[in-house]
Structure 1
Amino acid sequence: MTVIVILMVSAALIVGALWGIYGTLSKNLEGFLVALAGGALLVSALLELIHTAVKNYSVPIALSVVFLGAIVFTVLDYLIKKKWSAPSGTGLLAAITLDGIPENLALGVALIGATPLSVAALSGSILLSNLPEAAGGAKEMVAKYSKSKVFLLWLATALILAAAALVGHYALANVSKEYLSYLKCFAGGAVVASLALEVFPKAFKQDQYWTGLATAIGLVLALYLNTLGD
């Protein structure tokens, strides 16, 4: 089950990238899907990444690590888009990688002895956010890079995140839950920054006022998936 879930979550990036590169994706649909992912990421950031540490461990440390994650993502996003002149789709790629590594580490640990419903809740939220983000990001990157290069970049990202999940499952099983919670807080901070800088501005630009409804739909779906794990 562990390998199947990890492959499924990582494959969402590959499928999304292929859709963005070769498929038909209107601007309105792209914006709607990105906003949908944003709603799912809101739930993931608050409930799956930040809430546990704030509730059970040191609140100052947890919130400081959240802020650190936001700072790191913001600096990287600035360097990628302003200093290295990369297309905005690369910002989404950076967002998925930066918050995805600790998120997938946590996913690997969570799969140890987890019930099927808990697995469905966590992996479903990640899949729901990865697919449209990869589609939108890959589509934008094709404007500057070749299709093969864009696909290889997203494939490499999927492999990195799959490896992170495997490391989490097999190497971090005995790590303190407190430290793991702080790691997830870092990911949560990166997610919050990516929502503000990349996800919602992009979604509104493409889909205007449908963005609010799409975000709510993504949030509701992710909240429902989260209740399955209770």
Structure 2
Amino acid sequence: MLEAGFWGLVAGSALVVGALLGYLVRVAAGVVAGVMAFGSGVLISAVSFELIAEAHERGGIVPTAVGALIGASVYTGANVLLARRGAQHRKRSGGQTSEAEQAGSGTAIALGALLDGIPESIVIGTSLVGGGGVSAVTVAAVFISNVPEGLSSAAGMRAAGRTRKYVFVLWSGIAVISALSAVFGYAVAGGLSPAVLAAITALAGGAILCMVADTMIPEAFAGTRLWIGLVTVIGFLTAFGLSHA
């Protein structure tokens, strides 16, 4: 359980790292977009080989399909609500976000980070069930995807007049919630039947895949254009290689 919390905190700490970069360094939008494209490929690989495939092996096609569709539906509904409150571009760098979006989106961005991070962290926890090691691919994918989100938030909240203390306390708190979500995933998964555990794993996979399609790939395309396909494939192959090493 402690190990699950540790790895959940490691993945969530990328939000704080990104926020620090957003305050101290002017990161070019193209660089952020490149990281986003690479992270998209890593996450697609993790969903395919670490989540959906594992869910299918545990419970079969029906729990896997039902779980993935529920995860995607819940994520989409919540994402629509958050987009209306100013969190539509929460994974963009500050230079890509309009002043109108920056001015009123602090709470929505924070809730968006929770929406993205909770299923990711639960998966990290469930990967430890049965005495196996943590999924390094999933942790790396979550970490990479969280950096631009923290960077965007810091730039946007600073423009909206938020203090440095407010920003770092907020994102540190979300990192802690990510750790607790990983602990929850480990604690709950241990007593579930294979079919239910498969559905939960697939639910997280569906939510993550939906997040990649809704937020990460569009923002990566905005900055990399013709290079997004190549960078995404490199990220996918990197994660594939790690998962089969």
TM over 0.5: yes
Q: Distance in 2 between matches of 1:213 and 1:202?
A: 15
Once the two structures are TM-superposed, the CA of residue 141 in structure 1 deviates from its matched residue by 5.2
Output the CA distance in 1 between the equivalents of 2:163 and 2:41: 29
Is 2:59–2:194's contact at 8 Å kept on the other side of the alignment? no
Count of residue correspondences:
225
In 2, Cα distance between the equivalents of 1:95 and 1:209? 28
User: Is 1:146 aligned with 2:147?
Assistant: no
Aligned residue in 2 for 1:15: 17
Contact map agreement 1:98 1:190 (CA 8 A) in 2:
no
Residue 88 of structure 1 corresponds to 89
Contact 2:67 2:203 in 1 (8 A): yes
**Counterpart amino acid of residue 181 in structure 1:** A
Pair 217,139 (structure 1): closer, same or farther in 2 beyond 3 Å:
farther
Inter-partner Cα distance in structure 2 for 1:49 and 1:97: 20
**Which amino acid in the other structure matches residue 179 of structure 1?**
V
Alpha carbons 2:7, 2:179 under 8 Å: kept: no
Greater mean alpha carbon deviation, residues 105-114 or residues 199-208: 105-114
2:132 alignment counterpart: 114
C-alpha deviation, 1:171, in angstroms? 5.0
Distance 1:203 1:137 in 2: 17
Identical-pair percentage: 29
- Assess, with a 3 A threshold, how the Cα gap between structure 1 residues 67 and 138 changes in structure 2: closer, same or farther: farther
Query: Are residue 124 (structure 1) and residue 125 (structure 2) matched?
Result: no
d(CA) in 2 for partners of 1:86 and 1:120?
Answer: 29
- CA–CA separation in structure 1 for the residues paired with 2:187 and 2:56: 26
Q: Are the equivalent residues in 2 in contact too, given 1:87–1:140 (CA < 8 A)?
A: no
Which shows bigger deviation, 145-154 or 47-56? 145-154
- In the alignment, structure 2 segments of 5+ residues that lack a partner are 91-104
Question: Do residues 223 (structure 1) and 240 (structure 2) align?
Answer: yes
Alpha-carbon distance, 1:219 to partner: 1.0
Residue 150 of structure 2 corresponds to 134
Is it true that 1:208 corresponds to 2:209 in the alignment?
A: no
CA shift for structure 1 position 226: 1.1
Partner of 2:32: 30
Q: Secondary structure at the match of 2:34?
A: helix
Question: In structure 1, the residue corresponding to 2:244 is in which secondary structure?
Answer: helix
Deviations 1:106-163 (A, max 9, x none): 3224335224xx5534433333333344334544555446253443332222111101
User: Which residue number corresponds to residue 74 of structure 1?
Assistant: 76
In structure 1, the gaps of 5 or more residues are: none
- Choose which of 93, 100, 106 in structure 1 pairs with 2:117: 100
For residues 195 and 112 of structure 2, what CA distance do their matches in structure 1 show?
24
